[in-house]
Amino acid sequence: MKLAVIGATGLVGRKIIQVLEEKHFPVDEFVAIASEQSVGKHIKFKGENYRIVTIEEGLYASPDIAIFSAGAEISKKWAKKFAKKSCFVIDNSSAWRMDENTPLVIPEINGDTITAKKKIIANPNCSTIQMLMALSPLHKKYTIKRAVVSTYQSVTGSGAKGIQQLMDERKGKEGIKTYPHQIDMNVIPHAGSFGEDGYTTEETKLVNETQKILDPNISVTATAVRVPVEGGHSEAVNLEFENDFELFEVKRLLGTMPGIVVLDMPEANFYPMPILSNDKNEVFVGRLRRDFSQPKSLNLWIVSDNLRKGAATNAVQIAEYLLKQGFID
C-alpha cells in the first residue's frame, strides 16, 4: 500500500496524517507532498521522518491512494493525472464535488456510490458532512421537504491564516487579515465568496451537495456565518417533513446512526458545543425540539470538528472503504 497526502503540511493535511496514525491505516510506503516552500523538509508519520517532495515526484511514485488537500486549483490540474495511473484520488477541495461522474461521498450514507472504475472521489464540504450525518436517518424515515440552516463556522475553516488573524487580534497585534472585518469579539455573516444572487459559496455548497448526496427534491436554504471559535462548526437546522414524527423516535434514529452522538439534556445544560467536539471524529446533535410554528417540523443543533469528520476523518474513511471493498490490490 502506497499512500500520498498532497498538502501534507497544511491544517487538514496534518490532521489526515494524525487520523491515519490513529486508525492504524496500513501504509507500506508514505509519500508526503507539499508546496515548493516545504520541499526538502521532513514530516513525521508513524514515528518516521519522511522527506517532503514535489507533486511531480509524487505522481512518479505511483501511489495507490492520493488524498488531496491543497485547494481546488491543484486538484483540477493534478487529480486526473494521478487517476490515469490507476491511483484512487480522494479530493478535499470543491473541484470535483458537483461533477456528475464523480462520487460525492459520506461513507456512512452513500459509500456504495464508490466503484472500482471511478478513480476520483470527492469529499463534501465540512458543513455538509456534519449536517447530512444527522439528516440522513431522518430523511429515510420521514422524508425531508425543506431544510433551513444557519452555520456558525470556526476560523479553522479558513486554514492557518484564519487562526492567525483571530490570535493576533486577541493579543492586540497587527497581522495578516484573512477576513474583511475583525473576527475576535465579532461574527461575520460571510463565509466563502459572494455570488451574483447574494449567497456565498459556502451557502451554495450546502444546497447543491445536500441535493446530490441525499435527495434532489429537498429544498435547502442557508446562511453561513464565521465566528471567533478555533475549532468546530455549529449549525442550527430547521426541517420540514412529509410525514409527522415523535421526538423520542427522532432521538432513537439519531442515536443508532454510526458516527452520531446525541447530547440532548437541556435541563442539565447538556448540549453540543464546539469545545466538546474539538479533536473528536463524531458528529454531536442536540437541542431537539418540535417547531410549533408549522406542522411536521423539527429544530436541531449539530456540531462537529470541521478538520476531523468535516475533512480528514471522512477522507480516511473513504480510503478504508476502498480497502474493505477490495478495490486496491
DSSP string, 85-137: TTPEEEE-SSSSTT-TTS-B--HHHHGGG--SS--EEEPPPHHHHHHHHHHHH
- Distance, in Å, from the CA atom of 308 to the CA atom of 299, rounded to the nearest integer, reads 25
Query: What is the DSSP-derived secondary structure letter of residue 36?
Result: T
DSSP string, 171-211: HT------SSS--TT--BS--S-B-TTS-BHHHHHHHHHHH
Three-class secondary structure of residue 80 per DSSP: helix
Angle, CA 203 vertex, CA 201 and CA 208 arms, to 5°: 85
Q: Which of 24, 42, 87, 126 is catalytic?
A: 126
- Distance, in Å, from the CA atom of 173 to the CA atom of 81, rounded to the nearest integer, reads 43
- Distance, in Å, from the CA atom of 58 to the CA atom of 135, rounded to the nearest integer, reads 38
Q: Which of 42, 87, 181, 233 is catalytic?
A: 233
Provide the pairing of β-strand 2-6 with 29-33.
parallel
Residue 233 bears catalytic tag? yes
Catalytic residues: 126, 233
